[in-house]
Amino acid sequence: MMRKPAGRITEVFKSAAMRERAYRFLENVAVESGALISAMARAVAGRAATLPMVYAVIDGSSLTLADPRGRKDFGQVGAHRHGARGLKVISAYAVEMTGVPIGVLWQSYWARQKRRRVGPKGTDNRRRAVREKETQHWLDVVQAAAQHSDPTKLWYLVDREGDARVMLLALHALRARFTVRSSWNRLLVAGKNGGRRYLRAVMARAAVVADYGVEVPAAHKRLARRAKMRVRSSTVQLLLKDRWHGGATTLELNVVWAREAGTTPRGEKPLDWMLLTNATVGTGDDVLGVIRSYQARWRIEDFHKTWKSGHCNVENTQLHSMHAATIFATMHAAVAARAERLKHLARNSPDQPASTELTLPERMAIAALAHELLNEPLAPGGRRQTKLVVPDPETMDIGTAVAWIARFGGYTGKSSGGPPGAIVIGRGLQEVLVGARVYAVLQALQHK
């Protein structure tokens, strides 16, 4: 799968015998996805342990899988009216403070089953315990990430979907640093006059502590622009009501509110981040540091794309059970994380020795493939790229290694429109892994 990741078993394995063994492995009830996830988490935690602090990005997603007749043990994904089937998943994704991904620190999969509500949605939710809700999966992932790493070294980054009373209290109990994007105009502890106070109204009166600009790319119903962001900060006391057991808990947190001011095109909503955090916000630099930390959350979106529909294309699987699909998806998650790590290392730490990420057989394969590419016969009228040289396997840096890997995958340099992405890196990595395997076999035969 590392050499040739793909959504379908028939695309990964060439021979009928290999495919049969793969199917037996995936359907074997003795193979536990939790053991695979734990092994992946230990490897990622080992790398993270060498760093002073690591972002732990927590985010939910879904795998839309083929189930046209509804006979597989998958669940509903997306809106009810669309009828899509698949699996829900929450991941903890470790990212260095520089923005370079480390890998998947934990995952939780489940099949969402349709259930009959008792009354309106809000009332129904209040009648159910946390263990009966999907919120429990968020808590499980947060706890598992802390168990596999030193929680004092983790900085949890959680999107709006994770803005829940039990999540905030769980993060607070871990004594880890965290930032949660607010989804609700939360009730605060009453003021001196005893009236109700709400988060947004209080923050609107908070002092402006910083301004900064951010480049906004064009997208669907969004114009490209350089947005001017105005930042306010304050310390508040949230009043977290427990509607299941009754009563309420007070939690003091810092709030950083970044909102676009004066640059929003007509018809669009301004950029707006309301961040709840226990990080220090004593100075303008501290506040901007909280915002920069939350920007690292987008690394998990890159991972989701590479994993689900890009390099690994795991959503294309035709497997018939949740058990098999979960194992298949977990193994592909490790492959996708590696491609993403190489991509960002080449962009952020290009001078780092390639030996920290690539084995000697892999580096030898890169040199051999580069030599072959530079000595290919030219087409009539073609020009040799004289600036390119075969890299030394012993001294090559990660930037050079990834640039060559991308070229093996079809990257053409500046004419491609930007730095290499995960898809071309993944394609090139397939060539390198095959070459590395050949090199290792030849070395073994020579030794023999």
Q: Is the pLDDT of residue 100 over 70?
A: yes
**How many CB atoms are located within 10 Å of the residue 350 CB?**
14
Which residues partner with 156 through β-bridges?
Answer: 56, 178
| Residue 257: exposure state from Cβ atoms within 10 A (0-12, 13-18, ≥19) | buried
Under 8 Å between Cβ of 303 and 56: no
Q: What b/e string do you get for 368-398 counting C-beta neighbours within 10 Å, with b at 16 or more?
A: bbbeeeeeeeeeeeeeeeeeeebbebeebbb
Q: How confident is residue 191, by pLDDT bands cut at 50, 70 and 90?
A: confident
Residue 72 one-letter amino acid: K
Q: How confident is residue 157, by pLDDT bands cut at 50, 70 and 90?
A: very high
Q: Which residue has the higher pLDDT, 46 or 124?
A: 46
How far, rounded to the nearest angstrom, does the alpha carbon of residue 153 sit from its chain's CA centroid? 18
Which residues partner with 213 through β-bridges?
Answer: 228
Q: Give per-residue pLDDT as tens, 332-390.
A: 999 999 999 999 999 989 999 999 999 999 999 999 999 998 887 766 766 656 578 89
Structure token pair of residue 279:
């990080």
Q: Give per-residue pLDDT as tens, 395-440.
A: 999 999 999 999 999 888 766 678 888 888 988 998 999 999 999 9
Q: How confident is residue 127, by pLDDT bands cut at 50, 70 and 90?
A: low
User: How much is the pLDDT for 64?
Assistant: 94
CA 77 – CA 120 distance, rounded (Å)? 21
Q: Is the pLDDT of residue 124 over 60?
A: no
Q: What's the sign of the alpha-carbon dihedral 293, 297, 303, 309?
A: negative
Q: Look at 137-141, 261-265, 371-375 and tell me which has the smallest mean pLDDT.
A: 371-375
User: How much is the pLDDT for 375?
Assistant: 84
- 422-447 vs 298-308: helix crossing angle, rounded to 10: 70
Place of tokens 């095959």: 434
Q: What is the number of residues in the chain? A: 448
User: How much is the pLDDT for 209?
Assistant: 94
DSSP 411: -
pTM value is 0.89
User: How much is the pLDDT for 245?
Assistant: 73
Structure token pair of residue 357:
């990420």
Q: How confident is residue 251, by pLDDT bands cut at 50, 70 and 90?
A: very high
User: How much is the pLDDT for 78?
Assistant: 80
Return the percentage of the chain with pLDDT > 70, whole number: 93
Q: Is the pLDDT of residue 34 over 60?
A: yes
Residue 148 one-letter amino acid: H
Which residues partner with 275 through β-bridges?
Answer: 181, 256
* DSSP H/E element including 56: strand 54-64
User: How much is the pLDDT for 398?
Assistant: 95
Under 8 Å between Cβ of 110 and 132: no
Structure token pair of residue 426:
């993944």
CA 95 – CA 55 distance, rounded (Å)? 5
The DSSP string of 66-81 is --TTS-SS-EE-S-GG
**How many CB atoms are located within 10 Å of the residue 115 CB?**
9
Does the domain formed by 9-329 have CATH 3.90.350.10? yes
Domain boundaries, the chain: 9-329, 350-377+385-447
- Mean pLDDT score, 177-202: 89
Question: Residue 70: left (phi > 0), alpha (psi -120 to 50), or beta?
Answer: left
